[in-house]
């Protein structure tokens, strides 16, 4: 017989506890971070492969970096856009897609900008930090979705000629009001919050975990490693999102 490590048994028990709670839940909110897309080959910000030309993402994803060197910031975005264009959803995305149908009320708050949840088929979602294929003018109200590689960087606004920028939320920028409002509404109403693949340090998304706990909701965390939220949540399942989430969905369908 193959020996089963205690860790595996504990993880299995955590999954069963999560399934038990979720089977009774009528309202479920899932919040995802970069870890959900790691198994699709998209580097997280804080994990391996997050570095580009020795810059940390915190040095590039800011309005100050863009003001200082818009070409450099755009080059980094083109590099990321190219990786994301080639990426496909992984079993974690498909499990979250299945969850949309399994619960009476479901909502997904994603911090990812990569479009993979939509590609997997989720429709009830908000992109908390925007979308890497959307861009907006730094001066006028021009916005567009632009999937192709840019010929020259930075791309210019066809309406006023000023620089375009990625329509994503950078460090130090506020979350758009309507996005924050819809997210808060679902956090207030939900019974269970499942937080997947997020380092739980980027605000205000990270605060949803403590807010949900404060409101007496059940919070389940799925992450490769412990996070600052681990001590706070009801169930913390350690492992790859692409392995854990399909097991939860399997349990829910049993």
Residues annotated as catalytic (active site), given as ranges: 129
Identify the residue among 122, 183, 195, 199 touching ligand NAD (CB under 6 A): 199
- Spatial neighbors of 205 by CB under 8 A, at least 6 apart, are 31, 33, 109, 111, 128, 198
Query: Closest Cα partner for 67 from 129, 175, 139, 134?
Result: 139
CB 222 within 8 A of CB 197: yes
Pairing of strands 218-223, 164-168: unpaired
Query: Phi-psi category of 130—alpha, beta or left, where left has phi over 0 and alpha has psi -120 to 50?
Result: left
Identify the residue among 77, 112, 117, 155 touching ligand NAD (CB under 6 A): 112
- Beta carbon of residue 119, minimum distance to Zn ion (angstroms, whole number): 29
Q: Which two tokens stand for residue 124?
A: 């009830």
238 makes contact with Zn ion (CB under 5 A):
no
Distance of CA 86 to the CA centre of its chain: 18
The CA-to-CA distance between both ends of the chain, in Å, stands at 26
142 makes contact with Zn ion (CB under 5 A):
yes
Other CB atoms within 10 Å distance of the CB of residue 43: 17
Identify the residue among 21, 125, 153, 224 touching ligand NAD (CB under 6 A): 224
Identify the residue among 18, 42, 60, 187 touching ligand NAD (CB under 6 A): 42
- Beta carbon of residue 142, minimum distance to Zn ion (angstroms, whole number): 4
183 makes contact with ligand NAD (CB under 6 A):
no
Identify the residue among 13, 160, 188, 215 touching Zn ion (CB under 5 A): 160
Identify the residue among 28, 73, 77, 111 touching ligand NAD (CB under 6 A): 111
Q: Nearest 10 degrees: CA dihedral of 180, 165, 125, 52?
A: -110
Q: Smaller CB distance to Zn ion: residue 153 or 182?
A: 153
220 makes contact with ligand NAD (CB under 6 A):
no
Contact window for Zn ion (CB under 5 A) among 24-32, 74-82, 154-162, 187-195: 154-162
CB 13 within 8 A of CB 7: no
- Beta carbon of residue 102, minimum distance to ligand NAD (angstroms, whole number): 20
CB 215 within 8 A of CB 224: no
Query: Taking CB within 5 to 8 Å according to partner kind, which of ligand NAD, Zn ion, none is near residue 42?
Result: ligand NAD
158 makes contact with Zn ion (CB under 5 A):
no
159 makes contact with Zn ion (CB under 5 A):
yes
Query: Closest Cα partner for 71 from 163, 169, 167?
Result: 163
Q: Which residues bind Zn ion (CB under 5 A)?
A: 137, 139-140, 142, 157, 159-160
Q: Which residues bind ligand NAD (CB under 6 A)?
A: 33-35, 37-39, 42, 44-47, 111-114, 129, 197-199, 202, 223-225, 227, 240-241
């Amino acid at each position: 017989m193959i020996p089963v490590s205690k860790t595996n048994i504990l993880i299995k028990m955590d999954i069963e506890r999560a399934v038990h709670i979720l089977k009774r839940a009528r309202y479920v909110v899932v919040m995802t971070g970069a870890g959900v897309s790691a198994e699709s080959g998209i580097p997280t910000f804080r994990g391996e492969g997050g570095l580009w030309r020795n810059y940390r993402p915190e040095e590039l994803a800011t309005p100050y970096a863009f003001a200082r060197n818009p070409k450099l910031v755009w080059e980094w975005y083109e590099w990321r856009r190219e990786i994301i264009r080639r990426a496909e959803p992984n079993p974690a995305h498909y499990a979250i897609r299945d969850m949309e149908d399994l619960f009476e009320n479901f909502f997904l708050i994603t911090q990812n900008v990569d479009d993979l949840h939509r590609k997997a088929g989720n429709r009830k979602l908000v992109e908390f930090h925007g979308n890497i294929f959307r861009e907006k003018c730094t001066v006028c109200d021009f916005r567009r979705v632009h999937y192709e590689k840019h010929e020259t960087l930075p791309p210019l606004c066809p309406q006023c000629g000023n620089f375009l920028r990625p329509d994503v939320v950078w460090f130090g920028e506020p979350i758009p009001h309507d996005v924050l409002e819809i997210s808060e509404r679902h956090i207030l109403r939900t019974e269970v919050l499942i937080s997947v693949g997020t380092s739980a340090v980027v605000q205000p998304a990270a605060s949803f975990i403590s807010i949900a706990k404060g409101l007496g909701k059940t919070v389940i965390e799925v992450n490769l490693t412990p996070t600052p939220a681990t001590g706070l949540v009801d169930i913390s399942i350690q492992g790859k999102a692409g392995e854990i989430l399909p097991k939860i969905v399997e349990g829910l369908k049993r």
